[in-house]
């Protein structure tokens, strides 16, 4: 039961009656005495302020009200009339405050605020809407309470009561929802540059809140074993920040990796520090085994986070998978050639960039030619950009000859002082490319050139004689 007090309004009405006399009034619209906002959601240990407002009032001269609340949920810290409040008089002498009181321990369960105010003659009455008081509370416990307006009284400048409707405020004090952590593949898209490359795939945890008390982590990462090969699996640095860990021996299957990691108790079988934040749980190192253009998913599934209770399903979370895209290969190839006359070895780097799989790169010094095989899915357009050292094989940009499966194709060539870059496109399948230059390492000796010219001349003469014989045979047969 809440205590009953003798209304202060009797005193206020008495003062008004003495100074002004009593007249009966009628009011056409509903006046509201309200606490705003009407609903407050707050966390423990935080403060909030509400306004006590008057709306649509005529000739108001005095007010009195009480606000009750559960003192286990909130406590009031101050109540003030802000500058410019609705009842502010033109002269501070024209006001009287019979009651302005906060009691957080009004009784065993409730706190109470009791506020009373009146203007004094010759101050005119107030009409309209505005703020009467600002009240600050502090949330001290979880739960809900009503800021309940009780024993509300308004009077006009004759001492007559003003009919009105009170409106309360509902306060909820609760801990914020703990954000869910996320398992995530990093990088989101793994893009190697060449076969044989090793690429690290990190499995990370993001936005882990220590209030989850998470101590165990498990996941499976699915991959395409036609494209990738697992080299090793290692623990990341994240969990080690919070104590000693135990990594369950990883299980590596042809199409997935199973990984588990535990944070061991700190003292006497009890955890005293819990993981929080973001970081890497594990790193899986893959070797690229198949050329472009290929793509596949890196799928995170069967992910689990266990708290100290180990109760299924564990800590709620999300999992974000990744992608593997090997669309263009930049492949450096080493060409080694030994000069038979000097026995000196020469080494050159030929680099290819293509959306096909490049293989069987061969240097044919005698023919002044590089050969290679391009493999890609049928029905698509492939390209090759090859960079050749000019000391190995050279020609003017317009003098190169490119054959694809024995047929000349168009190309573009650019060069600087050390290298030539040749670019061409083609319809993909499996094709053999021949790239002929003019100058080669080393230049043929004069005798070799002479022999080559003699061979060419002999071939031309033989061809000419054969043509004449065929022509003669054709004439005899007529």
d(CA 251, CA 230): 11
**Fold topology of 9-173:** Immunoglobulin-like (2.60.40)
Q: Is the pLDDT of residue 453 over 60?
A: no
Structure confidence at residue 8 (pLDDT)? 53
Structure confidence at residue 440 (pLDDT)? 87
Classify the C-alpha dihedral 388-394-397-400 as positive or negative.
negative
Q: Tokens 């707050």 — which residue? A: 42
Helical residues (DSSP H) of 186-343, grouped into ranges: none
Structure confidence at residue 471 (pLDDT)? 43
Question: What average pLDDT is seen over the chain?
Answer: 89
- The model's pTM is 0.64
What is the DSSP secondary structure assignment for residue 348, as one 8-state letter?
E
* Half-sphere exposure at residue 367, Cβ-oriented, CA atoms within 13 angstroms: 10
Structure confidence at residue 28 (pLDDT)? 52
Tokens of 416: 């600087």
Structure confidence at residue 7 (pLDDT)? 52
Task: Give CATH for domain 182-326.
Answer: 2.60.40.680
Q: Is the pLDDT of residue 349 over 50?
A: yes
Q: Would you place residue 176 in the very low, low, confident or very high pLDDT band (cuts 50, 70, 90)?
A: confident
d(CA 63, CA 70): 24
| Boundaries of every domain in the chain | 9-173, 182-326, 329-440
Q: What would the DSSP string read from start to end of 223-242?
A: --TTTEEEEEEEE-STGGGG
Q: What angle do CA 272, 273, 277 make, to 5 degrees?
A: 165
Match domain 329-440 to its CATH number in 3.30.2010, 1.10.3470, 2.60.40, 3.40.50: 2.60.40
Structure confidence at residue 162 (pLDDT)? 96
Structure confidence at residue 465 (pLDDT)? 45
């Amino acid at each position: 039961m809440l205590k009953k007090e003798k209304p202060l309004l009797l005193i206020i009405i008495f003062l008004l009656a003495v100074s002004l006399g009593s007249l009966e009034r009628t009011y056409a619209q509903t006046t509201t005495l309200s606490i705003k906002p009407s609903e407050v959601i707050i966390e423990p240990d935080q403060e909030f302020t509400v306004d006590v407002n008057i709306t649509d009032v005529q000739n108001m001269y005095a007010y009195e009200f009480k606000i009750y609340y559960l003192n286990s949920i909130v406590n009031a810290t101050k109540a003030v009339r802000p500058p410019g409040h609705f009842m502010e008089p033109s002269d501070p002498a024209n006001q009287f405050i019979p009651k302005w009181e906060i009691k957080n321990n009004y009784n065993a369960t409730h706190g109470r605020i009791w506020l009373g105010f009146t203007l004094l003659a010759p101050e005119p009455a107030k009409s309209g809407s505005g703020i009467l008081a600002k009240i600050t509370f502090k949330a001290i416990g979880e739960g809900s309470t009503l800021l309940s307006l009780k024993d509300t009284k308004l009077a006009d400048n004759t001492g007559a009561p003003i009919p009105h409707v009170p409106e309360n405020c509902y306060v909820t004090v609760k801990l914020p929802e703990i954000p869910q952590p996320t398992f995530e593949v990093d990088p989101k898209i793994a893009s190697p540059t060449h076969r044989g490359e090793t690429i690290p795939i990190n499995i990370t945890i993001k936005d882990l809140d220590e209030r989850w008390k998470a101590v165990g982590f498990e996941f499976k990462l699915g991959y395409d074993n036609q494209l990738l090969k697992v080299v090793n699996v290692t623990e990341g640095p994240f969990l080690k920040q919070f104590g000693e860990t135990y990594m369950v021996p990883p299980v590596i299957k042809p199409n997935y990796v199973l990984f588990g990691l535990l944070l061991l108790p700190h003292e006497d079988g009890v955890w005293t520090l819990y993981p929080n934040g973001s970081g890497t749980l594990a790193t899986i190192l893959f070797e690229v085994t198949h050329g472009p253009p290929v793509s596949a998913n890196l799928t995170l599934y069967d992910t689990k986070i266990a708290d100290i209770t180990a109760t299924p399903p564990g800590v709620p979370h999300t999992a974000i998978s990744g992608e593997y895209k090997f669309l263009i290969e930049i492949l450096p190839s080493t060409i080694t050639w030994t000069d038979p006359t000097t026995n000196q070895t020469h080494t050159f780097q030929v680099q290819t960039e293509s959306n096909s799989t490049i293989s069987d790169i061969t240097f044919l010094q005698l023919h002044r030619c590089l050969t290679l095989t391009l493999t890609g899915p049928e029905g698509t357009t492939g390209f090759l950009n090859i960079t050749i050292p000019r000391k190995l094989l050279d020609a003017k940009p317009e003098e190169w000859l490119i054959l694809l499966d024995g047929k000349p194709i168009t190309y573009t060539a650019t060069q600087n002082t050390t290298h030539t870059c040749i670019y061409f496109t083609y319809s993909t399948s499996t094709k053999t490319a021949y790239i002929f230059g003019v100058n080669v390492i080393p230049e043929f000796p004069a005798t070799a050139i002479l022999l080559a010219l003699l061979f060419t001349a002999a071939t031309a003469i033989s061809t000419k004689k054969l043509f004449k014989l065929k022509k003669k045979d054709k004439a005899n047969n007529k």
